[in-house]
Chains A and B, each alone.
Chain A
């Protein structure tokens, strides 16, 4: 199956591990990811905050770039890019005035036939659990994980139209298909502090700290994420948060695609697992997932 692929800026830089695992897992599942030619930033949270027309135009510019690919679906791993591009499509569909202004700003015509999907939704629903389960070589038996979806993937449901905004289950289902045990908890869609990481680090340490503390309390072997911003906040700030809590955290924060790759028999290094600041290696070895 051929789909249009929009990786987004983070996956090119700090979250290259996510991109690496996504590409390999998709390839293994027979999905050919065709990168949107010359894609640009979706505007992310700064454009959304500062200028509505700029935000919608930047996102729509990428939708227009994908037209030439003639793909039915566009798959986006980054939850923020996913929500922005999908929202731009909805905004320009709903209001002819906005559509005209955006088209004039980007100097291109929009076409609404493209189906914008999050990577998680695509793997869970389009590819399906059966196809994923059939590729499992090393089941993740004995691994107790917590799933953490964050905000942008599922909220607000009026935009994302995907899974339940308070209690999503698609990632749980994928991980169970890999043989892992998914633990219950109430923090699936709590906020990690997102883009305030640099300008308001204290806020992020407080918010991500609550999530870490609860995950450790639940005795999870790993926290599994689908967003690179959540991954960065929960992984990179562990030492800092540990100091605030008077303890030391060593909780691996891994992408669901990395666990898919491991279960499919791909190597630790190729999946970018060596790039996380809190190394998941010892945990994976103790569970027999890694030799």
Chain B
């Protein structure tokens, strides 16, 4: 069983999450409206109420490995229904940043991979090449034929064209520079 020992370090994690996200988690009533409304809460994904409880209790490792924030699609339903207006997708971002800073292996490798590939495409082209990102994801996840049937249907309807996928994107140096700047700032912080 997890017990708080009243040590100052136990509060440090909570303080950091609250400060960086701007969300006052100490106001949380643990009413559970968030998890009851959350589309991704399931038997295996604990949901926002439990995640907040973990953060408040200083369970840093458990919170940073919690699949809830990886699954979070930022739909904003919990933020809309929360009686004290806690915005959990703002908390998700902070937990994702902290997990990366501490070198914690993503608990949801698939979601992480997709998001990385998406941002790589943006960094390179300024705009995301959606289909190339999906294909790259399926190849890297060793399931090259996932959704192939849908792809064929889309090509037949003219929604996608293999030629457009092969075409090189234009570079957008201004966007590449934004990514570089952010990396520099992260290095300075570290």
Chain A residues at the B interface, C-beta cutoff of 8 Å = 9-10, 12-14, 16-17, 38-41, 43-55, 57-58, 61, 104-107, 151-152, 155-159, 165-166, 189-191, 193-196, 198-201, 203, 207, 236-237, 239, 274-277
Check A46 against B115 for contact (C-beta < 8 Å): yes
Residue of B39, B92, B150 with most chain A CB atoms under a 10 A cut-off: B39
Asked if B72 is an interface residue, CB under 8 A from chain A, the answer is yes
Check A44 against B118 for contact (C-beta < 8 Å): yes
Contact check: which of A107, A165, A166, A199 meets B113 at CB < 8 Å? Answer: A199
Check B96 against A9 for contact (C-beta < 8 Å): no
Q: Per-residue 0/1 for B96-134: is the Cβ within 8 Å of any A Cβ (1 yes, 0 no)?
A: 110010000000101101111011001000111111001
Given contacts A41-B126, A41-B175, A49-B93, contact A200 B76 (CB under 8 A): no
Asked if B13 is an interface residue, CB under 8 A from chain A, the answer is no
Contact check: which of B110, B159, B174 meets A200 at CB < 8 Å? Answer: B110
Total inter-chain residue pairs, C-beta < 8 Å: 171
A9-B128, A13-B129, A50-B96 known; 17 new pairs, CB 8 Å cut-off, are A14-B160, A45-B74, A46-B114, A49-B92, A49-B96, A51-B93, A51-B96, A54-B179, A105-B181, A105-B185, A155-B75, A165-B80, A196-B40, A199-B110, A199-B114, A207-B39, A275-B158
Given contacts A14-B131, A191-B73, A277-B153, contact A203 B40 (CB under 8 A): yes
Min distance, Cβ A148 to any Cβ of chain B, angstroms: 13
When C-beta atoms are compared, the residue in chain B nearest to A64 turns out to be B174
Q: Which residues of B contact A51 (CB under 8 A)?
A: 93, 96-97, 182
Check B93 against A12 for contact (C-beta < 8 Å): no
When C-beta atoms are compared, the residue in chain A nearest to B82 turns out to be A156
Docked CA distance A223–B181 (Å): 43
When C-beta atoms are compared, the residue in chain B nearest to A229 turns out to be B73
Check A49 against B122 for contact (C-beta < 8 Å): no
Asked if B3 is an interface residue, CB under 8 A from chain A, the answer is no
Q: Per-residue 0/1 for B137-152: is the Cβ within 8 Å of any A Cβ (1 yes, 0 no)?
A: 1100000001101100
Min distance, Cβ B188 to any Cβ of chain A, angstroms: 12
Q: Per-residue 0/1 for B62-88: is the Cβ within 8 Å of any A Cβ (1 yes, 0 no)?
A: 000000011111111101100001010
10 contacts between A and B (CB under 8 A): A51-B97, A52-B90, A54-B179, A105-B181, A156-B80, A165-B80, A193-B39, A194-B73, A200-B111, A277-B153
Check B75 against A41 for contact (C-beta < 8 Å): no
Check A196 against B119 for contact (C-beta < 8 Å): no
Chain B residues at the A interface, C-beta cutoff of 8 Å = 39-40, 69-77, 79-80, 85, 87, 89-90, 92-94, 96-97, 100, 108, 110-111, 113-116, 118-119, 122, 126-131, 134, 137-138, 146-147, 149-150, 153-154, 157-160, 164, 172, 174-175, 177-179, 181-182, 185
When C-beta atoms are compared, the residue in chain A nearest to B181 turns out to be A105
Docked CA distance A152–B76 (Å): 7
Docked CA distance A14–B160 (Å): 7
Could you tell me the dominant secondary structure of chain B's interface residues?
Answer: helix
When C-beta atoms are compared, the residue in chain B nearest to A65 turns out to be B174
Docked CA distance A53–B96 (Å): 13
Docked CA distance A290–B118 (Å): 39
Check A13 against B96 for contact (C-beta < 8 Å): no
Docked CA distance A105–B79 (Å): 28
When C-beta atoms are compared, the residue in chain A nearest to B69 turns out to be A49
When C-beta atoms are compared, the residue in chain A nearest to B133 turns out to be A198
Q: Which residues of B contact A43 (CB under 8 A)?
A: 119, 122
Check B73 against A196 for contact (C-beta < 8 Å): yes
Check A41 against B71 for contact (C-beta < 8 Å): no
When A and B form their complex, which 7 residue pairs have the shortest distance between CB atoms, in order from nearest? A155-B76, A46-B115, A191-B39, A151-B75, A156-B76, A156-B79, A194-B73
Check B97 against A52 for contact (C-beta < 8 Å): yes
When C-beta atoms are compared, the residue in chain A nearest to B38 turns out to be A191
Residue of A16, A58, A198, A207 with most chain B CB atoms under a 10 A cut-off: A198
Check B182 against A54 for contact (C-beta < 8 Å): yes
